């Protein structure tokens, strides 16, 4: 049985390699409030389904889920955030395959395709955007 | 009893089953958004748990009850809400102040709509199995 933490970790690692990504990153659902001059990232890993797709006790199980990335600009940084959201989305385009520490292949799927929202402006001057990245992993277990 | 009669009966059966599958899939998608689903992984909508010190006297469930399904055409349906809390509960971005939208409820969760959309093929497959098995 695959360790889903490995899937989460490889997605988080990929996120960290995005050019220009904010250095302040929060993984999970902790409530945070960095200084207004600091742009930051929240990432949430959500396993969703597990389904046997071949017969037999040692058959292949397909697990799917969504990886959510919220990007928050520093105050007044909406334009740069828009570009950063596109760059981040490109790092998780459909078909990208990532390998976990235990050699499982995590594929960014296209059902639905990875997507992002429009910028959400706040009265505090920050802008935010949500990226939705579907993933799937198939393992024999 | 001709081949043509058989064909007509088969066509009627397929049409009836297709309509059943469509209606049941829409209903399952609605349920996935509001109540959660093991098929999609959605946790459903949170329900306000109010009491002393926090919205005392209010009754939770407004967001969950706000979702409606409308059948617009024979093969078109929409699942909608007019709740002002729906967007921020879905994406976790607080409005209008920004930052994270904190979930206080111990039931339900975020991303119910997105998880339901991602799981729609599985919901459809489950409904097809029900009418064909």
* Peptide bond connecting A104 to the previous residue in cis, omega within 30 degrees of 0: no
Please name the residue ranges forming H helices in B36-97: 62-66, 86-91
Tokens representing B3 are 């081949």
3-class SS at B12? helix
**Residue carrying the six token digits 């979702």:** B67
Is residue A130 less than 8 Å (CB to CB) from chain B?
yes
Q: How far does A39 lie from chain B, in Å, by closest CA?
A: 11
Instruction: Please tell me the predicted confidence (pLDDT) of residue A30.
Output: 64
pLDDT tens sequence across A60-109: 999 999 999 999 999 988 899 999 999 999 999 999 999 999 899 999 99
Residues 51-110 of B with CB under 8 A from A: 91-100, 102, 110
Asked if residue A55 lies in contact with residue A93, where contact means CB atoms within 8 angstroms, the answer is no
- pLDDT of A33 strictly over 80: no
Is the Cβ pair B114, A66 closer than 8 Å? yes
Segment 79-108 of chain A within 8 Å of chain B by CB = none
Contacts of B43 in chain A (CB under 8 A): none
Rounded average pLDDT over B33-45? 96
Kindly state the percentage of chain A with pLDDT values over 70: 98
From CA B15, how far away is CA B112, in angstroms rounded?
Answer: 31
* DSSP per-residue codes, A20-74: T--SEEEESS------TT--EEEEEEEEEEEEE-SSSTT-EEEEEEEEEEEEEPP
Which residues of chain A have a CB within 8 Å of the CB of B33? none
* A128 interfacial to chain B (CB closer than 8 Å): yes
What percentage of chain B exceeds 90 in pLDDT?
65
pLDDT bracket for residue B98 (50, 70, 90): confident
What is the DSSP pairing of strand A40-52 with strand A24-27?
parallel
Q: Is the pLDDT of residue B51 over 90?
A: no
Q: Say whether A112 and B117 touch across the interface (CB within 8 A).
A: yes
Q: Is the pLDDT of residue B113 over 80?
A: yes
Candidate from A49, A124, A134 with C-beta closest to B98? A124
pLDDT over 70 at A29, yes or no: no
Write down the pLDDT at residue A2. Answer: 76
| Mean pLDDT of the B7-16 span | 90
DSSP state of B51: B
Which residues of A are less than 8 Å from B122 in CB distance?
49, 51
> A120 and B93 in contact by Cβ < 8 A?
yes
Alpha-carbon distance values, A39 to A42, A83, A139, B59, B102 (Å): 11, 14, 37, 37, 19
- Give the integer Cα–Cα distance in Å for B49 and B35: 16
Q: Quote the pTM value.
A: 0.89
Reported confidence tier of residue B20, pLDDT bands at 50, 70, 90: very high
Place of tokens 């976790």: B92
Q: Judge whether B124 is closer than 8 Å to chain A, CB to CB.
A: no
Which residue of A26, A40, A45, A46 is the best one to mutate when testing the B interface, meaning the one whose CB has the most B CBs within 10 A?
A46
pLDDT band of B56, cuts 50, 70, 90: confident
pLDDT of residue B19: 94
- For the segment B71-75, the average pLDDT, to the nearest whole number, is 95
Contact A130 B91 (CB under 8 A): yes
């Amino acid at each position: 049985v695959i360790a889903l933490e490995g899937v989460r970790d490889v997605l988080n690692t990929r996120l960290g390699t995005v050019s220009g990504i904010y250095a302040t990153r929060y993984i999970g659902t902790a409530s945070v409030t960095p200084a207004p001059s600091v742009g930051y990232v929240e990432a949430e890993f959500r396993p969703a389904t597990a389904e046997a797709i071949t017969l037999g006790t040692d058959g292949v199980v397909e697990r799917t889920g969504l990886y959510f990335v919220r990007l928050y600009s520093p105050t007044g940084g909406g334009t740069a955030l828009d570009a950063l959201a596109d760059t981040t989305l490109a790092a998780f385009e459909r078909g990208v395959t990532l390998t976990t520490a235990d050699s499982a292949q995590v594929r960014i799927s296209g059902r639905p395709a990875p997507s992002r929202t429009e910028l959400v402006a706040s009265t505090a001057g920050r802008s935010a955007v949500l990226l939705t990245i579907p993933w799937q992993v198939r393992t024999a277990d | 009893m001709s081949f043509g009669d058989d064909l007509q009966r088969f066509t009627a059966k397929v049409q009836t089953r297709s309509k059943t599958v469509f209606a049941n899939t829409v209903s399952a998608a609605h349920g996935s958004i509001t109540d959660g689903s093991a098929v999609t992984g959605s946790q459903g909508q949170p329900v306000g748990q109010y009491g002393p010190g926090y919205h005392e006297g209010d009754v939770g469930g407004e967001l969950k009850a706000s979702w409606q399904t409308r059948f617009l055409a024979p093969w078109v349906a929409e699942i909608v809400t007019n709740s002002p809390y729906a967007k921020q509960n879905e994406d976790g971005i607080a409005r209008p102040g920004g930052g994270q939208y904190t979930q206080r409820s111990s039931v339900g969760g975020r991303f119910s709509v997105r998880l339901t959309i991602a799981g729609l093929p599985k919901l459809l497959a489950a409904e097809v199995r029900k009418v064909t098995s």
